[in-house]
Amino acid sequence: MAIARPAYDDVARAAERISGAAHRTPVLTSRTANERFGAELFFKCENFQRGGAFKFRGAYNAIAALSPEARQRGVVAYSSGNHAQCIAYASRLQGVTATIIMPKDAPATKIAATRDYGGRVQFYDRYAEDREEIARGLATEQGLSLIPPYDHPDVIAGQGTCAKELIEEVGRLDVLFVPLGGGGLLAGSLLAVQRLARDVKVVGVEPEAGDDGRQSLRRGEIVHIAPPKSIADGAIVTHLGAHNFPIIKDLVDDIVVVSDAQLVEAMRFFAERMKMIVEPTGCLGAAAAFNGLYPIAGKRVGMILSGGNVDLAVFSRVVMEQAPTSSSNAKGA
């Protein structure tokens, strides 16, 4: 079966659909960062997006693209993270009912946030049941539209609006770093770059523990891995999407990986120097740039800070307790 491949025109249409609903997030710069890395850095701050992550873009676009009849029946999504929250929020804004399938042991704060955004939560047992199967079952029985977190043309097109805005705002870039989980953000960014700024090298960044994207790029086919363990909870997928991989394979320059320690270091940098909270997954691109995993010296470098949803207890623990080794000898002895 042929797989529908979104194109730049779909990104442009998504930009029109989400205009006025999604925030046009700020692009911040930091003189400290520029001096430290000898480059000109541009941070696209999706941690300030509605719902706290870029996933609002794809969610809103996918719901807006449905027929009036489908919107009347409602949507269903599965995720314990940003996608669920953004689907619930984007649905409410469009007067659409959203059912979110969540594990019954999901953190209470996440369940509450999804409900606050107007989502109907349906629980499942993640040790005994398959959430995709439950979602597909509901979709068939109740005529709901299933909106997956990344493997969907309208989701990819919506996520592409973020890189589109960045390029429109800063003009020429040499390199763009993009966090990579299932590939919605990366595939969408590639579509935007291909049309608007062909010369930009786009680098996808995954957690070290879940390098299925890098393996897939090397092998030329989607590689499945066991569920990885990483602090980057928005990117611990087991494989890239079927709609996402062909775009990534054709257009990405490289896929690199960063460690959890490097993510924590980047979180500390944003908190300390730029006074903002970026969630671990949102730091993937920046951590790759900061650690020289792709050359940036003397270049104009964009990076997407993809989200800011992190439990405050987790945030304070990681930024306070895991001081980077580079500063551990600053005092004492």
Ligand X SMILES: *Cc1c(COP(=O)(O)O)cnc(C)c1O
Q: Which residues are catalytic?
A: 55, 80, 206, 210, 212, 306
Comparing CB distances to ligand X, the nearer of 71 and 282 is 282
- Contact between 181 and ligand X per CB under 6 A: yes
Q: What character string, x for contact with ligand X (CB under 6 A) and - otherwise, covers 121-150?
A: ----------------------------xx
Question: By three-state DSSP, how is residue 330 classified?
Answer: coil
Q: Choose one: 69-77, 99-107, 180-188, 220-228; the region binding ligand X (CB under 6 A).
A: 180-188
Among 326, 313, 199, 327, CA closest to 251: 199
- Contact between 85 and ligand X per CB under 6 A: no
Comparing CB distances to ligand X, the nearer of 6 and 181 is 181
Q: For the residues of 187-235, what is the DSSP string, one character each? A: HHHHHHHHHH-TT-EEEEEEEGGG-HHHHHHHHTSPPP-PPP--S-TTS
Among 216, 225, 223, 237, CA closest to 284: 237
Place of tokens 């393996």: 215
- Contact between 114 and ligand X per CB under 6 A: no
Among 131, 260, 279, 299, the residue binding ligand X under the rule CB under 6 A is: 279
Q: Choose one: 33-41, 182-190, 195-203, 290-298; the region binding ligand X (CB under 6 A).
A: 182-190
Site for ligand X in 202-221 (CB under 6 A): none
Comparing CB distances to ligand X, the nearer of 71 and 279 is 279
Q: What is Dmax (Cα atoms) for the chain?
A: 70
- Contact between 186 and ligand X per CB under 6 A: yes
- Contact between 50 and ligand X per CB under 6 A: no
Nearest approach in angstroms of CB 249 to ligand X is 15
Comparing CB distances to ligand X, the nearer of 153 and 183 is 183
Size of the site for ligand X (CB under 6 A): 22
CA distance 178 to 168: 17
Q: Choose one: 12-20, 112-120, 275-283, 317-325; the region binding ligand X (CB under 6 A).
A: 275-283
Among 148, 183, 210, 302, the residue binding ligand X under the rule CB under 6 A is: 183
CA distance 189 to 164: 7
Q: Please answer whether residues 143 and 204 qualify as being in contact, where contact means their C-beta atoms are separated by less than 8 angstroms.
A: no
H helices of the chain, in order, are 8-18, 31-37, 55-64, 68-73, 82-93, 108-116, 131-142, 153-170, 184-196, 212-219, 244-251, 260-274, 284-290, 312-321
Comparing CB distances to ligand X, the nearer of 124 and 177 is 177
- Contact between 282 and ligand X per CB under 6 A: yes
Q: Choose one: 122-130, 220-228, 274-282, 289-297; the region binding ligand X (CB under 6 A).
A: 274-282
- Contact between 185 and ligand X per CB under 6 A: yes
CA distance 255 to 178: 9
For the CA atoms of 161, 218, 294, 328, the dihedral, rounded to the nearest 10 degrees, stands at 110
Place of tokens 């042991």: 105
Binding site for ligand X (CB under 6 A): 53, 55, 81-82, 149-150, 159, 179-186, 234-235, 279, 281-282, 306-307
